[in-house]
Structure 1
Amino acid sequence: MEGSDTRYVNVRAHLQSGHVIPAHPLALTPRREMDERHQRALTRYYVAAGAGGMAVGVHTTGFPIHDAKIGLYRPVLELAAETADATLAASPRPFVRVAGLIGDTAQALREAQTALALGYHCGLLSLGAWRDATDAAILAHCQRVAEVIPLFGFYLQPAVGGRRLGYRFWREFAEIANVVAIKVAPFDRYATLDVVRALADAGRDDIALYTGNDDAIVPDLVTDVPVTSGGRAYTRHFVGGLLGQWAVWTRSAVQMLDEIKAWRTIGSDAVPRAWLTRGAALTMANAVIFDAANNYTGCLPGILDILRAQGLVRGTWTFDTHEQLSPGQAEMLARLPVLYPSLTDDAYVAEHRDDWLR
Structure 2
Amino acid sequence: MNLGIRAMLDEGVAIPAHPLALNSARKLDERRQRALSRYYIAAGVGGLAVGVHTTQFAIRDPRVGLYEPVLSLAAEEMNRAVHPLVRVAGVCGETRQAVAETQTCEKLGYHVVLLSLAALRDADEDALISHCRAVAEVMPVVGFYLQPSVGGRALGFSFWRRFAEIEGVVAIKIAPFNRYQTLDVIRAVMEVGRDDIALYTGNDDNIIADFLTPYSFGGAARRIVGGLLGHWSVWTRQAVEYHRNSRNAEPTPDLLRLGVEVTDCNAAFFDAANHYHGCIAGLHEVLRRQGLLEGLWCLDESEGLSSGQKDEIDRVYAAYPHLSDDAFVAEHRDAWLRA
* 2:26 matched residue in structure 1: 32
Amino acid aligned to 1:305: E
* 2:41 matched residue in structure 1: 47
1:1-358 counterparts in 2 under 5 A? 10-86=4-80, 88=81, 91=82, 93-227=83-217, 233-261=219-247, 264=249, 270-358=250-338
CA contact (8 A) 2:213 2:223 kept: yes
State the Cα distance separating 1:85 from its structure 2 match: 1.1
CA contact (8 A) 1:11 1:180 kept: no
3-state SS of the aligned residue for 2:173? strand
Count, aligned residues = 338
3-state SS of the aligned residue for 1:311? coil
CA contact (8 A) 1:12 1:206 kept: no
CA contact (8 A) 2:16 2:231 kept: yes
- How far, CA to CA, are the matches of 2:193 and 2:102 in structure 1? 27
State the Cα distance separating 1:9 from its structure 2 match: 6.1
State the Cα distance separating 1:197 from its structure 2 match: 0.5
State the Cα distance separating 1:343 from its structure 2 match: 1.3
- How far, CA to CA, are the matches of 2:90 and 2:298 in structure 1? 17
- How far, CA to CA, are the matches of 1:54 and 1:9 in structure 2? 18
- How far, CA to CA, are the matches of 1:11 and 1:100 in structure 2? 18
Structure 1 outlier segments of 4+, above 4 Å: none
- The gaps in structure 1 that reach 5 residues or longer are 1-6, 265-269
CA contact (8 A) 2:264 2:316 kept: no
Identity of aligned residues (%): 56
CA contact (8 A) 1:155 1:165 kept: yes
3-state SS of the aligned residue for 1:226? coil
- How far, CA to CA, are the matches of 2:3 and 2:336 in structure 1? 24
Superposition TM-score, scaled by structure 2 size: 0.97
* 1:267 matched residue in structure 2: none
State the Cα distance separating 1:13 from its structure 2 match: 1.7
- How far, CA to CA, are the matches of 1:37 and 1:15 in structure 2? 29
Compute the RMSD of aligned alpha carbons: 1.2
State the Cα distance separating 1:10 from its structure 2 match: 3.5
- The gaps in structure 2 that reach 5 residues or longer are none
Q: List per-residue Cα deviations over 1:115-137 (Å, max 9, x = no partner).
A: 11001001001111111110110
